[in-house]
Structure 1
Amino acid sequence: MDDLHGAMTGLLQVWSVYHLNADDVIAGVIFGAPSTPLSTDDILLLAEHARKLEFYTKEIALRQEFMKRLQLEEKEHLKHTLKLAKAYHNNKMSNTAMKLLSPLLLTAHGKVKPLLIKYGQAAKNQITPTGEVNEERQIASESDPLCRGITKTPKERSELHCTLRTKIPYYLVKEEVLHVHPRVSLFHEVLSEDDIKTLKRYTAQQVSKPSPAETEFVDLAMTIYQLNEKKFRRLSDKLSRRMSLITGLGTHLKTSQSDVEDFQVVNYGASGQFPLHSDCRSEALWTSTDDNQLPLSPYVRYSGDNIATWIYFMSDVGEGGATIMPNLKVRVTPVKGSALFFYNYTPDGNCDLLTQYGTCPVALGTRWDAVKLIKQGGQIFRRLCDISNDE
């Protein structure tokens, strides 16, 4: 049952975030890719789930389709009409709910009359839309437009550029600058197909049963695998050295006061997503005490907070699944073999909330990432603090 609820929640989220056409979803077509159409029973079950999650515009579309498909007996027709009217009312379209119920006043006076009074009182305080369901009334996140591809203005895009970047003469890398201040970069062709296969193989070997990173993310079709890099040290060192060459930061994995944490491999299935968050935990190196360090893993004690984040993209994604930074209007479509890099701290040593990020729901396909959190301790002589936030 949990799997069924998770699948229904995922479908509703993808439908809502990407403004998919209701007829397409019911026909089993997502972004043009055909799958199994929804049966009549599926439609009714999904409508009930949409009601519980307050996806009222989706509930309305599903109930309309359900009633269109079936020639219901009078008793059943009344039952489902009342539910459809309630969905309109919940969507702040009480006038439409009243129009739906008015023809039933004579045949079901006892049930309909109280609802007409209730909806009539509610309609006085509502701006009543005319015609079809207003999609803007659905519950939406402020980050949804970014997931659909609405990003920077032409003027903002004019500041962006691509370059060949190097820290030492013999190592060049293709950098795509996604935002200038603070700098957010996508580095292309930094992870080979063999590296990806090896990382996935070690992930499968080390974790026989995946466990969600946080209880609150259980239903989001996303799983985090915390790897033990001692088991694949040669590849781990190679990838960490590559990060250091590109960023100039210390990325050496050590048994104590490590520069970095172990790799986290993240797998997003269909509808998988990750809420907006910051990798800055407000546990700066200079605030370390025994009380706040002893609960941590021994190898990262007194290593400080996560000064930067590096994400290797290990797969392309069919549709959806972009990484977004709403505060910067940055949207990054995963490109297999590339890596996203950004700082979680400003140069003057404060958490940079501008680089909060999350992942949009995966609509088609899957997404695989390898995330490396880079600690403050290894950067003492590499990224010096500044008295201002100017970069």
Structure 2
Amino acid sequence: MLLWTEKWSLTALLLPLLWWSCVNGEFYSSIHAMSKVFGYEQKLLQHMQKFIADNDSKLDFLKARLEEFERERNEALQWGVAYFESPLNKYLLSKRLTLDWQRIANLMAASTGEKSLSRLHQLRQRKHMPNEAELEGAIDGLLRLQSIYRLQTKHVAAGILDGVSYGTQLNAEHCLDIGQQALRLEHLQLAHAWLMEANNRLTTAEDHHQLQPQIAEKLAQVKARLSNNQGVNGTVEKIEEHSPVPENLTVLSEFDAYRYTCSGHIKPTPSDQRDLRCGYLTETHPFLLLAPLKVEELRTEPLLLLYHEVLYQSEIDVITKLTRNKIERATVTGQNSSTVSNARTSQFTFIPKTRHKVLRTIDQRVEDMTGLNLMFAEDHQFSNYGVGGHYAQHMDWFYPNAFETNQVANPEMGNRIATVLFYLTDVAQGGGTAFPIIKQLLKPEKYAAAFWYNLHASGVGDTRVLHGACPIIAGSKWVLNRWIRENYQSDKRPCELWDDSQISLSQLLELSRRASKQI
């Protein structure tokens, strides 16, 4: 078991919210929301195309008149004074210098494409259009990926993420933007790496003239701060992007344990896995004798199970329709209020099981899987994660202060005794669920579901199931949470004859074995 030097850190006190409220923007926190914004960009392009087309027509007309006037003028120059002997030529010249040139002047002064420009402005003011804060959030997600998965800046700038090339190159200006934000966020080593990459990617004389002074200024700031930072690895002349992985991974802060689990540095040993089983589950409900479930033990103390193929594509299709245009930026519950936080970057919504029979069918399946009563389970929560989307380490169970400050809906239902987490999609890279204390990393597997108890049998919150959603490198992650409450579970999961929050069954058996040897 890991020992925590910051056992009660702020992020450990952030609990999942039980209800949702509208939060504008935050497109970067969800692939679903980003797809919607991407549709808006198509409309912006259409308005821009109309603006250009209108102005092209205007310019084409002016070019044609210019050629006509120049042709007539050249003809007049060739004729000389004789040109004005014709009354028709006098008329044409007079007409050009009065009516024709007045029309030309009016056309040149007209604001062509004004309607398209107005519509473009209106579209830019829409509620869900991204702003500068959204851009900062997207960069923050990229830096989070880089930090947790220890990605090299030169690889990211070249479009290579954790060994996979996506063919997207960043230029010097992009690297400078990322470096500046890393500096603002005090990610000094990453800031230095991005600014150096920006300098390496200066290609044109214009880039050198405009960007190099900014890069030099920011690099000087980074080096000045690093020189005062005793914890930095390396000298100012040679600065490593990432601090070395600690030799002892059992004494870490909660966040460090979470990120090293996400990156695969913390993982179970062969002895941890020696007694684990997998097979077909039949004993929790008679129906399973006819349709057993495939289940895999990932841990026995505390219990962590992974059920395979417990959802159908037809059910996911229904869920997709139910959640369309309903998800909003997820919040977390602090000690006194619920707020948007960088500890949780995703979008979610809650839907009651009464909305569709498929949700009731899923609940019946959960009862068959777990043997628990879902009468007082919370509404179905659906979440979607976007650029670097994650949910840092947290507990699903509520701390006592959440009940005392009325932050828990229907407190009479009790605390969250257990969680069932369904994976509705595969994820190309990243996006796992990390349990740092028990050294487990669950990779998203479409149609699968994870199950664990949040509380000891005694009703005390189990700190061993601290977990977090790792950032997504590439892909889209949809999950369904079923949070099951304590009410009506006493006959489903009775208390033990000992306080299992103080001692586990294996420890109790070991003490009993030692005692018997001494007799």
One-letter amino acid of the structure 2 residue matched with residue 341 of structure 1:
F
Picking from 350, 368, 373, the partner of 2:483 is 373
CA deviations 1:311-347 (Å, max 9, x no partner) are: 1110000100000111111110010000010001112
3-state DSSP class of the match of 1:9? Answer: helix
Task: Please say which of residues 53-62 and 327-336 is displaced more in the overlay.
Answer: 53-62
Identical amino acids, percent of aligned pairs: 25
CA deviations 1:143-166 (Å, max 9, x no partner) are: 212111231122212233312222
Deviation at 1:83, TM superposition (A): 2.8
Picking from 157, 164, 174, the partner of 2:294 is 174
In structure 2, the partner of 1:155 is 271
Deviation at 1:210, TM superposition (A): 2.2
In structure 1, the partner of 2:350 is 226
Picking from 360, 363, 388, the partner of 2:499 is 388
In structure 1, the partner of 2:365 is 242
- The question of 1:134 aligning with 2:240 is answered yes
- Rounded to whole Å, the distance in 1 between the matches of 2:383 and 2:487 is 25
- Rounded to whole Å, the distance in 1 between the matches of 2:482 and 2:303 is 18
Deviation at 1:136, TM superposition (A): 3.9
Picking from 312, 317, 331, the partner of 1:213 is 331
CA contact (8 A) 1:251 1:374 kept: yes
CA contact (8 A) 2:381 2:481 kept: yes
- Rounded to whole Å, the distance in 2 between the matches of 1:270 and 1:83 is 26
One-letter amino acid of the structure 2 residue matched with residue 245 of structure 1:
D
One-letter amino acid of the structure 2 residue matched with residue 13 of structure 1:
R
3-state DSSP class of the match of 1:187? Answer: strand
- Rounded to whole Å, the distance in 2 between the matches of 1:219 and 1:144 is 13
In structure 1, the partner of 2:190 is 58
Deviation at 1:283, TM superposition (A): 4.9
One-letter amino acid of the structure 2 residue matched with residue 227 of structure 1:
I
3-state DSSP class of the match of 1:281? Answer: coil
In structure 2, the partner of 1:280 is 397
One-letter amino acid of the structure 1 residue matched with residue 146 of structure 2:
W
CA deviations 1:164-216 (Å, max 9, x no partner) are: 222233341111111110110110010111111111111116x2x62433433
In structure 1, the partner of 2:473 is 363
1:332-371 aligned at under 5 Å gives the runs: 332-371=442-481
One-letter amino acid of the structure 1 residue matched with residue 365 of structure 2:
R
Deviation at 1:82, TM superposition (A): 4.7
Deviation at 1:35, TM superposition (A): 4.0
- Rounded to whole Å, the distance in 1 between the matches of 2:483 and 2:160 is 38
Segments of structure 2 that go 5 or more residues without pairing to the other structure are: 1-131, 246-254, 333-338, 506-519
- Rounded to whole Å, the distance in 2 between the matches of 1:307 and 1:219 is 23
CA contact (8 A) 1:6 1:219 kept: no
- The question of 1:315 aligning with 2:422 is answered no
- The question of 1:5 aligning with 2:136 is answered yes
One-letter amino acid of the structure 2 residue matched with residue 133 of structure 1:
I
In structure 2, the partner of 1:330 is 440
- Rounded to whole Å, the distance in 2 between the matches of 1:155 and 1:55 is 37
- Rounded to whole Å, the distance in 2 between the matches of 1:363 and 1:74 is 34
| Greater gyration radius | 2
Could you tell me the TM-score, scaled by structure 1's length?
0.80
One-letter amino acid of the structure 2 residue matched with residue 84 of structure 1:
L
In structure 2, the partner of 1:19 is 150
One-letter amino acid of the structure 2 residue matched with residue 212 of structure 1:
A
CA contact (8 A) 1:56 1:138 kept: no
- Rounded to whole Å, the distance in 2 between the matches of 1:21 and 1:136 is 9
- Rounded to whole Å, the distance in 2 between the matches of 1:201 and 1:352 is 36
Deviation at 1:90, TM superposition (A): 2.9
CA contact (8 A) 2:233 2:239 kept: no
Specify whether residues 51 and 127 from structure 1 end up closer, same or farther in structure 2 by C-alpha distance, changes over 3 A only: closer
One-letter amino acid of the structure 1 residue matched with residue 393 of structure 2:
L
Segments of structure 1 that go 5 or more residues without pairing to the other structure are: 95-118, 253-258
Deviation at 1:364, TM superposition (A): 0.2
In structure 1, the partner of 2:216 is 81
3-state DSSP class of the match of 2:331? Answer: coil
Q: CA RMSD in A?
A: 2.9
Deviation at 1:282, TM superposition (A): 3.5
CA contact (8 A) 2:329 2:340 kept: no
Deviation at 1:359, TM superposition (A): 0.5
Specify whether residues 77 and 242 from structure 1 end up closer, same or farther in structure 2 by C-alpha distance, changes over 3 A only: closer
In structure 1, the partner of 2:382 is 265
